[in-house]
Amino acid sequence: MLTFLARRLTHLIPVIFGVSVAVFLMIHLIPGDPARLVAGMEATPQDVENVRRALGLDRSLPIQYLTFVANALTGDFGQSFRTGRPVLQEIGFRYGNTLALGLAAVVIGTLLGIATGIVTAVYRGTWIDNAVLAVSLLGISVPTFFLGLLLMLTFSVYLGWLPLTGSGTWQHMVLPAVTLAIPNAAVISRVTRSSLVEVLNQDYVRTARAKGLSELVVVNRHAVRNALIPVATVTGLQMGYLLGGAVVTETVFAWPGIGRLIVQSISARDFPVVQASVLLLAVTFVVVNLLTDLVYRVLDPRIELK
């Protein structure tokens, strides 16, 4: 186990390096001059040049990247061009908000997806199976921003049950979490159904039925646990996607998360904040995949981690 963890942690190095290079190059190719934005539209060319020199943007791209890496290794990601505050302070609580939103969406989506997947597998070929399939396809197909606006219109404008936007209470998290959870639940539901149908056709399941066990006992004790291994894979991937894909949802609901911060920082050409935020999301994605591998061992102790 320790060898596996050490090997997987070493994989972080090339991943972080690749992400840092890609993000650094992409944000520097975005049209616009951050020095002009910081100095203001009424600044003189000399003022803009002084700001560019103060921000270190007058140096070559390789020197800027090496400076960023050297400072990042010491925990210093620089200061925000937009606010002047340290980058870690800018993204700290916003990352916590995004993580909380993502976890809530994963919990809702996983529970709903597994439950509907089990039901459709047990009642496969019936109208229940067809109805859930139709709803799942709809949940996957509807764009996130449209789904969010539809939920806002229904539960905030018409019914008045939940706050429209913002944060502060658990009610503010409900709509954005459900918006993220619905496509997640649709994917997990289809994977759970396919996996469970395959398991229910195995010999040991037929043997359990032949012993006179009820269908409920056969499904819960003998089938579901083995069927959850591919579901764990999808859930782990979905968690990573949710953290990155929360950009649209956070923007729609004005949720103060890291996704919304990235959008604002890209518009303001705030290079340090964008670089640090994307790196943090990349590390989170890798850690989630590592935890997913450990879940395999919990579900099936026979699996060897390599």
pLDDT tens track for 149-170:
888 888 888 888 888 877 778 8
Percent of the chain residues topping a pLDDT of 70: 88
At 35-83, the pLDDT tens digits run 777 777 677 777 777 877 877 777 777 888 888 888 888 878 878 877 7
What's the full length of the chain, in residues?
A: 306
CATH number for the domain harbouring residue 274: 1.10.3720.10
> Residue 22 pLDDT more than 70?
yes
The pLDDT-based confidence of 130 (bands split at 50, 70, 90) is confident
> Residue 146 pLDDT more than 70?
yes
Q: For residues 244 and 115, what is the distance between their CA atoms, to the nearest angstrom?
A: 26
DSSP code of 118?
Answer: H
Where are the alpha helices (H) located in 123-169, listed in sequence order? 127-141, 144-151
More confident residue, 88 or 226: 88
| Nearest C-alpha neighbor of 31 from the set 259, 275, 269 | 269
CA dist 215 to 108, 132, 198, 211, 261, Å?
26, 21, 16, 11, 50
Q: For residues 20 and 218, what is the distance between their CA atoms, to the nearest angstrom?
A: 49
Q: Is residue 12 part of a domain?
A: no
Q: Is residue 44 part of a domain?
A: no
The pLDDT-based confidence of 261 (bands split at 50, 70, 90) is confident
Q: Is residue 156 part of a domain?
A: yes
Q: Which helix (H) or strand (E) holds 281?
A: helix 271-299
The tokens describing 54, both together, are 């103060």
| Nearest C-alpha neighbor of 252 from the set 151, 157, 182 | 151
pTM: 0.77
Q: Is residue 286 part of a domain?
A: yes
The pLDDT-based confidence of 305 (bands split at 50, 70, 90) is low
User: Residue 135 belongs to what domain range?
Assistant: 98-299
CB 139 within 8 A of CB 185: yes
Position 245 scores a pLDDT of: 63
Position 10 scores a pLDDT of: 77
Q: For residues 80 and 72, what is the distance between their CA atoms, to the nearest angstrom?
A: 14
The pLDDT-based confidence of 84 (bands split at 50, 70, 90) is confident
Q: Is residue 42 part of a domain?
A: no
Q: Is residue 270 part of a domain?
A: yes
Instruction: Supply the angle between the helices 2-10 and 271-299 in degrees, to the nearest 10.
Output: 150
Q: For residues 169 and 255, what is the distance between their CA atoms, to the nearest angstrom?
A: 12
Q: Is residue 2 part of a domain?
A: no
**Total domain count for the chain?**
1
Q: Is residue 205 part of a domain?
A: yes
Position 48 scores a pLDDT of: 73
